[in-house]
Structure 1
């Protein structure tokens, strides 16, 4: 996938989110639901006692001269059995060591049992032989809806259990007909009377589906710490980027999800090593405090091994988009940008961290507060303290291997697998400066290894010879010095490079000029939007040499 400023994409369900869609509620919520089920079963036990007692008292009030209200009948036996079962479920659900998933499955069987008890009580116990049959919503339908709202389960399980429970009424009617308790013809009239209950089963499935969706939202929110995932912003070789909002602070953020297999996790041991390395590296990135480094808010690992980074949500555009849409930049603006990048790199290098993937797509330009043309260096979330990298792995030409740089911006020593330091980033920044001044790569080739070979052997053409724009001679010499094949011939540090840039005489570019530029270009249409959120997807380099392909 091409590196580009991240804007809203056509929404589709990512593979990882398809997995999440089928995932359960968090364990603590499942336990809470199992406790609710226990409370509901206790309530049902009380209702059975109260209902039967009131039934006997009502019979005495209606037939005061009859002693039948004192007799124990089928309804009383059903109520007694239901009370026992309800209390047993209550006691079982209250045990803390029980598996809440199993308890909730028991709850569905309890729903079926309750439906059977109600159906037998109303249809077999004491129904007049000639009672008319009309469609009705029975207590069974009400119980099904109640369970759907209280007991979290999958829509499929609720459909099966609901259909079985709703069928208890027709089955009880057929039993009553066979026993001679109730006379009606034809037998299919049982469905006429109780089809509304089957409709309620459909409503229960919808309720369960909604509850499942809410549970998934809770799960996703919890898996990403305190952040609620929003719209998909972009997708690349290592995962997806989502806009997110902090649940308490309402602060926008960008969350990058990184699949474990794209970290080169060939087996379980390698995966564990990758997660450990990720934690160490993200902690190092979190210590970067330069205002020109994208801020890392949080990081973590989900239960399925997906890594996530929570970063500040930026508005603006990356330098690759800027040059592609607006053309090469004047020397003064290039110096203004490079000095800010040097501020970010200087801090990182002082901590022993090498970015290793400095390129226009990883440098963001936008507005921060009242400041314009404010630079943020991106993709420090996967920064590494690298001492040795092989050529094969650096180029990432083998599927599944992680790229350690982009060929069009890769320092010779990195390609050779030699020890690298901050001067490798300075070489890459020289390539960025070349691109900003000319709108072209330093070297171009059909294949990645050909491109690397040119970085190793071919002297770069001076930028002034590849553009009609006027370029400061001092700036050109400094850019070529950054592109020296030997690291010892480059500026020794980002701070030294920034100081050299400061003394180059050129057209002024500061806050006033930057503000005017953004006011003019604020409404300019863009394929990605001039103020789209930016968070690049760290992805393997590919073999073509186009800017959007490396």
Structure 2
């Protein structure tokens, strides 16, 4: 049965340019998500309005004879207005939930402006500035700023209108028996209006600031969970080079995998300088056995990333961990397939530099076939680049030393590029990686898959490096006699594992041809994929 492991590094494919595109995509994503949230909150506000209006109508009835003993409110008119607003909110909710193209700005005014005017009228009709109905306007302003977060400058017009609807309706609908001038000279009325305007404006101001802060936090959340057009789902794994995430391509509506490469691990800055050129080269690889890279770029924080196709299946490291050694014919088919993928890369002068079981993936295709894919060309480099770095072992004659500073499966950035269990001896001593270094790594990986143990075992990193550089490997058939390996397979693997690069096969294609007589037929399925 196909499985998805944390060590999986499924891949992707086509080129997209760096920072400008990513910034534009992220800003577009902010706008889309903000608009969607705005629409959802406005629909929620209309739904709450439809539910609360009948309740406020009950309050109108209960308070008609107790709140205003001197001046009874026009109760019938109030109830008609409450009923009309209930129908208005229901109609808006039904219409707007299906009208996705309707402007959210117009939705905002349609939902909040009518109740603002009606509450102002009710305030004017129940004592004017002294009326307790001003609490309804305060509640409306609070609801608007809390329910519908966004940038303050965007929401200021509607909130400002709601605040100003209070004095505006007092002027339009208030009791002006002494004339408007007389009303303006009424100290009690004007004093109450100013006293009520102060909390209204304060609540509106605080609400707008809070709304703006919530909007900013929402944007940061989108940024944290997004990379341009890609939505980050979850982490799949991490290593010295960076972190691998399962993501979703929003435009294509399909899963993909993103690898973020941490530039901090490369203090010289060489990784960043090489990245774009090598990502372009890698994206041009078309072998069906090479994971497809279809996008790359640099995040706003300066992190390099590339996007790969998502694969369903297991890595060969998973199979080693679960089942140990594998049948020789299946292993030879995997190795030959890996050689085919790398031969194309080498023709483009690209060296993988990190072939290992974890980077060879058995994917399940749409027609339920098994296909091996070579993953993680993330540290691939062109042959004409400068040397990799300082030698890891200054003198092989020093012999093994104590201590095990790091797990031997990890890639050491800034020293060697690759995994020490599978790295060629010349790379460990500081020579640039070549196509024959990849050949060594394929053979070392095949040795591990055939025998269930690496070419060399050691208790410390120093001992492992010393053996890789100085000690000749044993024949696989002697390490694992129970496998009954065919005659001739030992010599093929041992030739690819020679200490001197020039003594190995002249090319990856020559290595593949040497493996073919021992390999299972193309399309043969491993037992683990049949589970």
Task: Give the TM-score normalised by the residue count of structure 2.
Answer: 0.61
Unaligned runs of at least 5 residues, structure 1: 9-19, 37-117, 170-175, 522-550
Secondary structure, aligned partner of 1:503: helix
Q: Which residue of 1 aligns with 2:247?
A: 244
Contact in 2 for aligned 1:245/1:252 (Cα 8 Å): yes
Q: Which residue of 1 aligns with 2:48?
A: none
Q: Which residue of 2 aligns with 1:332?
A: 329
Q: Which residue of 2 aligns with 1:503?
A: 517
1:459 Cα deviation from its structure 2 partner:
1.1
1:289 Cα deviation from its structure 2 partner:
1.1
CA deviations on 1:125-145 (whole Å, 9 max, x unpaired) are 999699353672216843882
Contact in 2 for aligned 1:255/1:309 (Cα 8 Å): yes
Contact in 1 for aligned 2:248/2:254 (Cα 8 Å): yes
CA deviations on 1:51-97 (whole Å, 9 max, x unpaired) are xxxxxxxxxxxxxxxxxxxxxxxxxxxxxxxxxxxxxxxxxxxxxxx
1:442 Cα deviation from its structure 2 partner:
0.8
1:196 Cα deviation from its structure 2 partner:
13
Among 302, 315, 318, the residue aligned to 2:312: 315
Unaligned runs of at least 5 residues, structure 2: 11-21, 39-116, 167-182, 395-404
Q: Which residue of 2 aligns with 1:45?
A: none
CA deviations on 1:259-287 (whole Å, 9 max, x unpaired) are 2212x136xxx3xx543311011111112
Within 5 A, what are the aligned runs for 1:39-188?
131-133=130-132, 136-138=135-137, 141-142=140-141, 145=144, 149=148, 151-152=150-151, 180-181=187-188
Q: Which residue of 1 aligns with 2:105?
A: none
1:304 is aligned to 2:307: no
Contact in 2 for aligned 1:423/1:493 (Cα 8 Å): yes
Q: Which residue of 2 aligns with 1:385?
A: 382
Within 5 A, what are the aligned runs for 1:77-476?
131-133=130-132, 136-138=135-137, 141-142=140-141, 145=144, 149=148, 151-152=150-151, 180-181=187-188, 205=210, 209=214, 212-213=217-218, 216-217=221-222, 221=226, 223-224=227-228, 226-262=229-265, 264-265=266-267, 270=269, 273-370=270-367, 372-386=369-383, 388-392=387-391, 401=414, 403-467=416-480, 468-476=482-490
Instruction: Name the CA distance, whole Å, in 1 between partners of 2:240 and 2:439.
Output: 26
Instruction: Name the CA distance, whole Å, in 2 between partners of 1:480 and 1:197.
Output: 81
Contact in 1 for aligned 2:392/2:429 (Cα 8 Å): no
Secondary structure, aligned partner of 1:364: strand
How many aligned positions are there? Answer: 397
CA distance 1:487–1:298, change in 2 (3 Å): same
1:215 Cα deviation from its structure 2 partner:
7.3
Contact in 2 for aligned 1:244/1:255 (Cα 8 Å): yes
Instruction: Name the CA distance, whole Å, in 2 between partners of 1:422 and 1:274.
Output: 20
Q: CA RMSD in A?
A: 5.1
1:503 Cα deviation from its structure 2 partner:
2.4
CA distance 1:399–1:148, change in 2 (3 Å): farther
Q: Which residue of 2 aligns with 1:518?
A: 529
CA deviations on 1:335-367 (whole Å, 9 max, x unpaired) are 111110000111111111111111111111122
Instruction: Name the CA distance, whole Å, in 1 between partners of 2:315 and 2:344.
Output: 21
CA distance 1:448–1:205, change in 2 (3 Å): same
Instruction: Name the CA distance, whole Å, in 1 between partners of 2:278 and 2:8.
Output: 24
Instruction: Name the CA distance, whole Å, in 1 between partners of 2:365 and 2:223.
Output: 32
Secondary structure, aligned partner of 1:408: coil
Contact in 2 for aligned 1:153/1:212 (Cα 8 Å): no
Contact in 1 for aligned 2:440/2:497 (Cα 8 Å): yes
CA distance 1:7–1:206, change in 2 (3 Å): farther
CA distance 1:487–1:215, change in 2 (3 Å): closer
CA distance 1:423–1:7, change in 2 (3 Å): closer
Instruction: Name the CA distance, whole Å, in 1 between partners of 2:412 and 2:326.
Output: 36
Instruction: Name the CA distance, whole Å, in 1 between partners of 2:413 and 2:9.
Output: 26
Instruction: Name the CA distance, whole Å, in 2 between partners of 1:494 and 1:343.
Output: 7
1:431 Cα deviation from its structure 2 partner:
0.7
CA distance 1:352–1:153, change in 2 (3 Å): farther
